[in-house]
Structure 1
Amino acid sequence: MTPIAATTVAPRVAENLNHALHRLFDREERLYLLGEDLLDPYGGAFKITKGLSSRFGDRVVATPLSEGGILGVAGGLALCGNEVIVEVMFGDFLALGFDQVLNFASKSVSMYGRRVPIPLVVRCPVGGNRGYGPTHSQSPQKHFVGIPNLALYELSPFHDAEAVLHTALQRGAPAILFEDKVLYTRRMYQENRVDDAYRYRITGSGLGWAHAFPDGEEDSADFVVVAPGGVTHRALDAARALREAHGRSVHVVTPAQLHPLDIEPVLPLLASAGRVAVVEEGTAGGTWGSEVAQVVHERIWSSLSGPVLSLSSADSIIPTAGHLEREVLLGAEDIRDGIRRAAGWGDALRETAQPGPTQAQAAAVETAAAGTTTPVTVPKLNNNDETYLVADWLVDEDAWVEPDTEVVALDTSKAQADIAASGSGYLRRVAAVGDELAVGDILGHLLPERAPRAAPEQDRPARPTRSAAPDRPVEPIRPLTEDAPQEDLAAEVHRLDRAQQGTAAVVAKSHREVPAGFTLVKAQVDDVLDRLDRLSDEGGAVLGLAEVVVKAVADAQRDFPRFFGSLVDDRTVALADAPHVGVTVDVDGSLYVPVVTRAHERSLAEIADTLMDFRMKALGKEFTAHELTGGNIAVSLNPDPGVVLVQPLVLWPQLCMVSVGAVGDECRIDEAGVARTRRFVHIGLAYDHRVVNGRDAVLFLTRIKAALEEPAQLGGELTWTTA
């Protein structure tokens, strides 16, 4: 395996911010940090201040839970000639210190007859998409726009956090740095590259604006999206989608400083494009985006092809449930569809009355004479379920539907999947919410013309009855009486939820169809655990054995291709092109096996981010179907203390599953005859004996064991740094 050079791995945004704070404290002897729960080993709610109190204990102050008190003390420290950074645990709580910002810190700069330096920066984690609910997910930026002497900044993946904080402190006036929480685990962009298709440049003096554009199209934009740092990724996703669907060049510009607004550096780009959108996660009304739109209108009105498009989140509190949160918050698809409508690029239903048919509508009307319709049917979403539940209709009855529009949501045993239309037409629903349908059953029809008739009764399948086993009827629960047999006297019953029913189907199929073998080895893990601890301390990411095992399993695919295949027939194995490693996540009685795709190409830190994302989605039962399919090998994680041996099942149509038990201590006699405690873990392999034999299993497990006992075999995976 080729080692990863230190310079190739971009730091996460959280790491960049943590390193910035360390460098500022190294340089500025009168810099203080105030906030709640900042001290090590906790290091703040999002670990941004990790390590600071250990190095600068007298200048890192943990405070009581009083935002008004914290900001009052911080303003006083700044007034006395110190530089101060305050961490507000959640931006929502900044409202509790609003008086100190508005009526003390910002006014003290200029209300004494001379300018008085107040070098104070308030850091605020903001934004949703984390399931934190109404009072921990808001974006309150608009409430601070326009306060005299107060500058507003926003964290971005383009701008170095040290430069932003240094600039804010050097102003000698209070500032707020808004940090969208979803950025913390993302990587910084570097070397003027966003990805293989997009590049970026910093334009303007000082911190400047980041200008992201399709490679080779820096000077030719069809539409420009003005996006603060927290929604940059969503804006870029929308830009990529519009480019793929329409061949349009959509650029994204992101400032480090929101207010006072200096839009001069990007005005030539906005004027040349003629179409501008401003996107932000906060709610509409009196926003930073409105300020941008006003200035753009005033400065380049004659160059614009239409009004500046303003897009924001819904006028609502932010729900905790993931699917409801996504309905409220501005997403990439909202940006994409908003630009489509504004630019008239098609593939989005006009919100105004349609003056005439689209090409798809006209084509559909031409087929009306032949009475042709396009059915919307239940596709096969996974191998676990025989039926799926209609969760929600996403398009209204009789609404016009374009091809690839998502029209209905289906619940599988493990996730919810949105089903897209394969054609166009007016939607006539057949299935109702709550119906349980099999693959191929009709959900609805796309009609060439509106038809008031009811859906044909013969199209609606009868609801299948659940059964305890295939072809076995469910026996009715008999009432409990004193004469009832002892075995019937159950105080209560437990109904399996859909997730567990899916698990039941998979394990039953495995027992029926897979002649499994099992082999177990034991690995000493002292060295790898010590190195993971050091790497976690250096980089701010918590890395563990799970990431190393997933990586080691994926790297073994080249030498053990059959372990990642699937049986075509009794004599043929289809080999995989890449290792896609499923990882078990067991939460609240529901077992999921989401897939780390192309795991051999991912660093340990990227795998750690993916596994953390899986755990968060499991808590909210938010997996999509594609995240739970496509695996060609699986890893069963069992870290609970005391777990020694785990014999996993092979998840058909896969051929192997690796199991990892908990780390345990054993007393061993070393070469000098001294008793020493060593840490061990058991690694098991269940395998389809039709394809894999015992010796091959031993060789495979020996490969994984070596990766744990001799971590240097993973090359750069355990040596890169993120400075």
Structure 2
Amino acid sequence: MTPVAATTVAPRVAENLNRALHRLFDREESLYLLGEDLLDPYGGAFKITKGLSSRFGDRVLTTPLSEGGILGVGGGLALCGNKVIVEVMFGDFLALGFDQLLNFASKSVSMYGQQVPVPLVVRCPVGGNRGYGPTHSQSPQKHFVGIPNLALYELSPFHDAEAVLDAAFNRGAPGILFEDKVLYTRRMYRDQRVDDSFRYQIVGPGPGWAHTFPDGEAGGADFVVIAPGGVAHRALDAARALHEEYGRSVHVVTPAQLYPLDIEPVLPLLADAGRVAVVEESTGGGTWGAEVARMLYERIWSSLRGPVLLLNSADSIIPTAGHLERKVLLGTDDIRAGIRQTAGWEGGSPPPAPLVAPATAPATGSPVTVPQLNNNDTVYLVTDWLVDEGAWVEPDTEIISLETSKAQADIAAPGSGYLRRVAAVGEELAVGDVLGHLLPEPAPRGTPEPVRPVAEDGAPPVAAEHRLDRAQQGTAAVVAKSHREIPAGFTVLKAEVDDALDTLARLSDETGAMLGLAEVVVKAVADAHQEFPRFFGSLVDDRTVALADAPHIGVTVDVEGALYVPVVKHADEQSLVDLADTLMDFRMKAVGKEFAAHELAGGNIAVSWNPDPGVVLVHPIVLWPQLCMVSVGAVAEECRIDAAGVAGMRRFVHVGLAYDHRVINGQDAVLFLTWIKSSLENTAGWEEN
């Protein structure tokens, strides 16, 4: 994640922050960085410090696991005239260094009879929505509000990280930069545009405030939401929905500096609107939002048309399970509902249904058709209707689920109306086919609804039944198609893994990453791309194979009966540590069923991972339109007699390859598997990978 040349695509927030750190180190010879697991190739828990230790090794210091110790040393270095950045791996752990911030760093600025610079910035990843659970997901900003000399900042996609860090250091006093983890993979906003419907402008001195508003509506806000960077996207989604539903102009303002807060730049906007909400992900009670409300009551009491609306997450620890985590944390719907209720906005309700059905059939209304979801598939499976037949729906209400290449997509209504369902669950439809209609009035009673597939007449009665859920239905459709269309062969080799497992255990201790055979297999398959390009292709016709320019490797993840195959894009460019992070992210998303469609599409080969004890080998089904799938069984042991006649236990795995026999023959398969086997048995060079 070293600095790269500017491109037409905005950098991700993590890339912007990494680039800012590199630039600071380039121009600040007395700058130090302290924290846990910062050194390359790991580069920090979220890769923000990647590349820094390779370039500035004498000033990037990895530390023991002691937040109090790290912050104490960092504060001491800053007090001695150095600029210091301390990375706390998770915001939850900042509490362990609270004493050093409250009683040492912040007080050292002014307790010696004169102002003493203490240029210390604490970087602190915070926030939930990542499935990390109660001890790695909190937003502790409110606990640091009001400490003299301690400034608080928050990362955002509007504010350049270098400018924010410069502002923090220029104060000559300690500061904390809170970085919501969900922002790292989002792209920065630029050119004063958020999307096609919202623009923004920076107001105020320094990093300032980002003022976001519907295009053409910079003035005259009906409601203003004050949202720090981590919740700004949720506030913007709520503003967009309220604008579409009620035609109301909801603006969002995002400060770079949380405390001390300079409210002056946005005070005219807030006073003119008269309705203000402050949203944050922390729990309620003693919040940053309460401090903002206090300031507004003092400054614009007479202009406010009601109390400042404070919206927070639920009063609860943060669960690990995705569906429970979403119930606890503040979301877009919470913001939207809170604003609508506070403002008393009406409208958006469906017109009343007539008491008597019309004598004639209703008009066909607006059709809802199958959209183009990706470039790999031409048909999609209808897995579930999300809205009842005849129900009134608003624009952008998700009404039906489609499955493609193991990706689940919920299709939204293009307009409003009464839903008339046409497509049946289990039906395969092409792009442009009609899913249903949105009618201006209810369909006549007695109009039949498409019937779900049922068992044939004469089937024996059953005591109970199991209905496949949406993920299982999607899996069934994909593997059935693959089984019908691909004439597959299958070859297996045995690979010894004693040295591999010992080396991985050592590297895990050295890097802090959870390294296993899965990462090595994915890396080996990726490295085989140049030698075996056909294995990564797809059939165009009976005589032509389209070759891939890079290995994009799908990896099976099976959770609670649902099978996902998320794709490691450009796997050849990732180190073993990078792959460990990627695969761990896949597992967490599988638990919460949180995969986006693009994460499950685009693969050109796949790995079936089957580590359960006792699994000897698995013959997988190649995923159309791919040509190959590698399978790996569980680690097993067998007794071997060595050359000296001594018996010993050796660990091994079976590595198999299912392949499209139209393109790949048995000898090719053996050569490919021999490559994988050699990669597992030869650990030389793994440290560099």
TM-score norm. by structure 2 comes to 0.64
Question: What's the CA shift for 1:634?
Answer: 6.7
Change (3 A) 1:135 1:637: same
Question: What's the CA shift for 1:323?
Answer: 0.4
Other-structure match for 1:622 = 593
Structure 1 distance, partners of 2:487, 2:231, is: 49
Question: What's the CA shift for 1:306?
Answer: 2.3
Other-structure match for 1:321 = 321
Letter in 2 for 1:587: D
What's the CA shift string for 1:280-305, capped at 9, x where partnerless? Answer: 11111111111112212222222223
Check if 1:346 corresponds to 2:350.
no
Other-structure match for 1:505 = 476
Question: What's the CA shift for 1:46?
Answer: 0.8
Change (3 A) 1:185 1:616: farther
Change (3 A) 1:629 1:281: closer
1:367 to 350, 355, 362: 355
Question: What's the CA shift for 1:416?
Answer: 11
Structure 1 distance, partners of 2:30, 2:5, is: 36
Other-structure match for 1:96 = 96
Check if 1:30 corresponds to 2:30.
yes
Question: What's the CA shift for 1:319?
Answer: 0.4
What's the CA shift string for 1:484-515, capped at 9, x where partnerless? Answer: xxxxxxxxxxx998588547733674378x45
Other-structure match for 2:276 = 276
Letter in 1 for 2:557: D
Question: What's the CA shift for 1:43?
Answer: 1.3
Structure 1 distance, partners of 2:182, 2:49, is: 17
Structure 2 distance, partners of 1:548, 1:347, is: 60
What's the CA shift string for 1:649-697, capped at 9, x where partnerless? Answer: 566xxxx34546599xxxxxxxxxxxxxxxxxx999969xxxxxx89x9
Q: Secondary structure at the match of 2:7?
A: helix
Q: 1:214-363, aligned counterparts within 5 Å? A: 214-346=214-346, 360=350, 363=352
Structure 1 spans left out of the alignment, 5+ residues: 349-358, 371-378, 395-399, 425-436, 441-462, 478-494, 521-541, 564-580, 664-681, 688-693, 698-723
Q: Secondary structure at the match of 1:58?
A: coil
Q: Secondary structure at the match of 2:312?
A: strand
Letter in 2 for 1:619: A
Question: What's the CA shift for 1:175?
Answer: 0.7
Check if 1:176 corresponds to 2:176.
yes
Letter in 2 for 1:297: Y
Change (3 A) 1:501 1:220: closer
What's the CA shift string for 1:232-271, capped at 9, x where partnerless? Answer: 1111111111222222222111111000010100111112
Question: What's the CA shift for 1:159?
Answer: 1.0
Identity of paired residues, percent?
Answer: 58
User: Bigger CA drift: 212-221 or 153-162?
Assistant: 212-221
What's the CA shift string for 1:288-346, capped at 9, x where partnerless? Answer: 11111221222222222322211111111100000000001011121112111122223
Q: 1:545-564, aligned counterparts within 5 Å? A: none
Change (3 A) 1:515 1:83: closer
Structure 1 distance, partners of 2:6, 2:461, is: 61
Structure 1 distance, partners of 2:49, 2:6, is: 23
Structure 1 distance, partners of 2:328, 2:73, is: 36
Contact kept? 1:592, 1:628, Cα under 8 Å: no
Structure 2 distance, partners of 1:368, 1:52, is: 73
Change (3 A) 1:385 1:199: closer
Change (3 A) 1:71 1:519: same
What's the CA shift string for 1:439-496, capped at 9, x where partnerless? Answer: 89xxxxxxxxxxxxxxxxxxxxxx999x9x998659999xxxxxxxxxxxxxxxxx99
Contact kept? 2:620, 2:629, Cα under 8 Å: no
Other-structure match for 2:16 = 16
Change (3 A) 1:118 1:657: same
Structure 1 distance, partners of 2:204, 2:416, is: 46
Contact kept? 2:556, 2:609, Cα under 8 Å: no
Change (3 A) 1:475 1:191: closer
Structure 2 distance, partners of 1:283, 1:368, is: 50
Other-structure match for 1:192 = 192
Q: Secondary structure at the match of 1:258?
A: strand
Letter in 2 for 1:211: H
Change (3 A) 1:507 1:104: closer
Check if 1:637 corresponds to 2:606.
yes
Q: Secondary structure at the match of 1:312?
A: strand
Question: What's the CA shift for 1:621?
Answer: 4.1
Q: Secondary structure at the match of 1:165?
A: helix
Letter in 1 for 2:282: G
Change (3 A) 1:595 1:661: closer
Question: What's the CA shift for 1:191?
Answer: 1.9
Other-structure match for 1:61 = 61
Other-structure match for 1:39 = 39
Structure 1 distance, partners of 2:600, 2:99, is: 54
Other-structure match for 1:672 = none
Other-structure match for 1:673 = none
Change (3 A) 1:31 1:234: same
Question: What's the CA shift for 1:619?
Answer: 2.8
Question: What's the CA shift for 1:438?
Answer: 7.9
Letter in 1 for 2:481: S
Structure 1 distance, partners of 2:207, 2:396, is: 41
What's the CA shift string for 1:338-378, capped at 9, x where partnerless? Answer: 11112222369xxxxxxxxxx658x35x73999xxxxxxxx
Pairwise CA RMSD of aligned residues? 5.6
Q: Secondary structure at the match of 2:25?
A: helix
Structure 2 spans left out of the alignment, 5+ residues: 359-367, 371-378, 419-423, 428-451, 491-518, 544-551, 611-617, 633-655, 665-689
Q: Secondary structure at the match of 1:49?
A: coil
Contact kept? 2:553, 2:607, Cα under 8 Å: no
Structure 2 distance, partners of 1:310, 1:51, is: 41
Structure 1 distance, partners of 2:562, 2:276, is: 46
Change (3 A) 1:472 1:384: farther
Structure 2 distance, partners of 1:686, 1:341, is: 59
Other-structure match for 2:635 = none
Q: Secondary structure at the match of 2:61?
A: strand
Structure 2 distance, partners of 1:201, 1:220, is: 15
Structure 2 distance, partners of 1:470, 1:593, is: 34
Contact kept? 1:415, 1:621, Cα under 8 Å: no
Other-structure match for 1:397 = none
Change (3 A) 1:470 1:383: farther
Letter in 1 for 2:169: L
Structure 1 distance, partners of 2:312, 2:171, is: 30
Contact kept? 1:646, 1:659, Cα under 8 Å: no
What's the CA shift string for 1:72-121, capped at 9, x where partnerless? Answer: 11111111111111111101111111111111111111112111111111
Contact kept? 1:32, 1:83, Cα under 8 Å: yes
Check if 1:70 corresponds to 2:70.
yes
Structure 1 distance, partners of 2:382, 2:585, is: 21
Structure 2 distance, partners of 1:175, 1:629, is: 36
Question: What's the CA shift for 1:616?
Answer: 5.0
Contact kept? 2:622, 2:658, Cα under 8 Å: no
Structure 2 distance, partners of 1:148, 1:322, is: 38
Structure 1 distance, partners of 2:289, 2:480, is: 55
Q: 1:386-405, aligned counterparts within 5 Å? A: none
Structure 2 distance, partners of 1:147, 1:326, is: 31
Q: 1:125-164, aligned counterparts within 5 Å? A: 125-164=125-164
Q: 1:516-555, aligned counterparts within 5 Å? A: 516=486
Structure 1 distance, partners of 2:78, 2:237, is: 41
TM-score norm. by structure 1 comes to 0.61
Structure 2 distance, partners of 1:630, 1:113, is: 61
Contact kept? 2:557, 2:587, Cα under 8 Å: no
Change (3 A) 1:316 1:419: farther
Other-structure match for 1:705 = none
Other-structure match for 2:207 = 207
Contact kept? 1:227, 1:253, Cα under 8 Å: yes
Other-structure match for 1:587 = 558
